[in-house]
Amino acid sequence: MSSPSPTPLPITAEPRLAGLPAVPEPPPTLYTAAFVRLLAVQFCFGLSFSVYFLLPKYLTTELHAGAAAIGAVGASAMWASVLATPLVAAMLDRVGRRPALLLGSVITCVSSLAMPFAHAVDATLFSVRIVQGVGFALVFNAASAATADLASGARLGEAIGMLGTASLVSNAVAPALAESAALTFGWSAVFIAAAAMAALSFAIGLGVPETPRLQASATVSIPKRGAKRITYAALLNGAGFATLFTFTPPHALDLGSLRVSGFFVGYTVAAVAVRLLFGNAADRFGRALVARYSFAFYALVVCSVAFLVPGYLELFGFAFGIAHGLLYPSLVALAAERSDPARRGAMLTLLNGAFYFGGGLILFGGGLVANATSYPTLFLLVGVWMLVSVQSLPRSLAKLD
């Protein structure tokens, strides 16, 4: 009589010794060739677009424009981005991210070549800025959507932050170089250089692969109430950002400053440092939590610029960079994480559209307020608006975590 065969032991795919913890899986690769090329596109395009952060100085010193005119010119680009939101959203999800990148680079290049022909605050100048606003909406939203497609959920906040870092570095480099170039070669040379950077962005963008078209998901979708909370936060973010970037330079000039690029340098150094050292903060501690506290700090920074001291422009810019470096990636990652993959481009375009809407609203109305009262009054009004909103916004964002 044969003895029964022993019962086979179950085979485990990953045997490990008892009592020892499992080896954690390595984090997913983020810096692929496609993502690095996307960062290069964003950086080159940012060099082109960031030249126009000095536009308030150009309008003040060359065209002798007042606060109301400065605000109106700045608002025209932002309002163009807002009005283009439905078309950009449809293009991203139906046509693709890469065509939007290329189209935005082309029209930005052409509009920069037209800028030397604007000799007054007239229809030519407004037309150029409107076209540039559309170009920015195309490139920035396409890059954001492509980044969200390429990055995994575990490193989504970090990926959005690094895309922003590529743009932020250009925010410091372009104004600093442009301000010196304008003194040496004139403003026309600066605008032609901006066109060249947009053309380089287009050339690099030709090699950016189209991200796969994603299918709709029945389980991942942001609720309407949640979308409203995030977009309102983005609107306020845009209002604060536009106020600081547009009205700080002429305010500093009124106080006796001769150069204003230090403000942009301080902003960029801080924002880049935050994203390099704490780029995964939103992924680790919760995107809504980081957004709540950085939003409150942002409001305080806006208020503080009412008490600007010219010799400390870099310090004020540094505080601004910390606030924006934490807040904006958190909001974008929160929206991308909760949106339907098949409509992610539309959701991110809506978010950025709200950002532009807030900026355009403040630039148009803010220029009138500053013209009738003073720049410090404008900073205090916008900062207080943000502080009042902080009372309810943090609680509503907390519900999304």
Higher per-residue confidence, 286 vs 352: 352
pLDDT > 90? residue 349: no
Q: How confident is the model at residue 209 (pLDDT cuts 50, 70, 90)?
A: confident
> Which sign does the torsion angle of CA 18, 20, 21, 26 carry?
negative
Quick check: is 119 in a domain? yes
**CATH code, domain with 286:** 1.20.1250.20
- The answer to the question of residue 18 being in a domain is no
CA atoms 17, 19, 20, 25: torsion sign: positive
First-last CA distance in the chain: 66
Tokens of 258: 């001769």
Give residue 384's pLDDT band: very low, low, confident or very high (50, 70, 90).
Answer: very high
Size of the chain in residues: 401
Distances (CA, A) of 251 to 305, 310, 321, 331: 9, 9, 19, 29
Least confident of 193-202, 283-292, 299-308, 315-324: 283-292
Helix (H), strand (E) at residue 128: helix 123-150
Count of domains forming the chain: 1
Asked whether residue 214 is domain-assigned, the answer is no
| Distances 227 to 99, 230, 278, 286, 334 between C-alpha atoms, Å | 27, 5, 26, 17, 10
Contact 208, 96 (CB under 8 A): no
Residue-wise DSSP of 246-260: HHHHHHHHHTT-S--
The answer to whether 343 and 218 are in contact (CB under 8 A) is no
Return the percentage of the chain with pLDDT > 70, whole number. Answer: 81
pLDDT at 397 over 90: no
Among the ranges given (106-115, 241-250, 363-372), the one the predictor scored with the smallest mean pLDDT = 363-372
Quickly count: other Cβ atoms within 10 Å of residue 325's Cβ. Answer: 28
280-292: per-residue pLDDT in tens?
666 666 667 777 8
Tell me: the pLDDT tens digits for 150-181?
A: 876 667 777 887 888 888 788 778 888 998 89
Residue 40: which domain range?
A: 33-209+219-398
Q: In the structure encoding, which two tokens stand for residue 391, read together? A: 């009372």
Handedness of CA 388, 282, 305, 351 (dihedral sign): negative
365 in a structural domain: yes
Cα angle 330, 333, 338 (rounded to 5 degrees) comes to: 125
For residue 184, what are its two tokens? 């040496």
Burial of 329 (0-12, 13-18, 19+ CB in 10 A): buried
Residue with structure tokens 């439905």?
86
**Residue 214 scores a pLDDT above 80:** no
Look up residue 91 and give its DSSP letter.
I
Alpha helices in 206-312 (DSSP H): 224-254, 261-277, 281-285, 287-304
58 φ/ψ angles, rounded to the nearest 5 degrees = -60, -45
Residue 24 has pLDDT above 60, yes or no: no
pLDDT interval class at 279 (50, 70, 90): low
Model confidence pLDDT, tens digit, residues 109-133: 999 999 998 888 888 999 999 999 9
With cut-offs at 50, 70 and 90, classify the pLDDT of residue 31.
confident
Distance of CA 217 to the CA centre of its chain: 27
When pLDDT is averaged across residues 330-348 and rounded to a whole number, the result is 73
Contacts of 215 (CB under 8 A, 6+ apart): 341, 342
pLDDT for 379 beyond 80: yes
Averaged pLDDT, 200-220: 72
Helices (H) and strands (E) in the chain, counts: 16, 0
pLDDT of residue 267: 87
Q: Is 4 within a domain?
A: no
Confidence of residue 11 (pLDDT cuts 50, 70, 90): very low
Question: Is pLDDT of 364 > 70?
Answer: yes
Q: Answer yes or no: is 154 within a domain.
A: yes
The rounded distance, in Å, linking the Cα atoms of 19 and 232 is 49
* Per-residue pLDDT band at 17 (split at 50, 70, 90): very low
Is residue 201 assigned to a domain? yes
State residue 165's pLDDT score.
Answer: 83
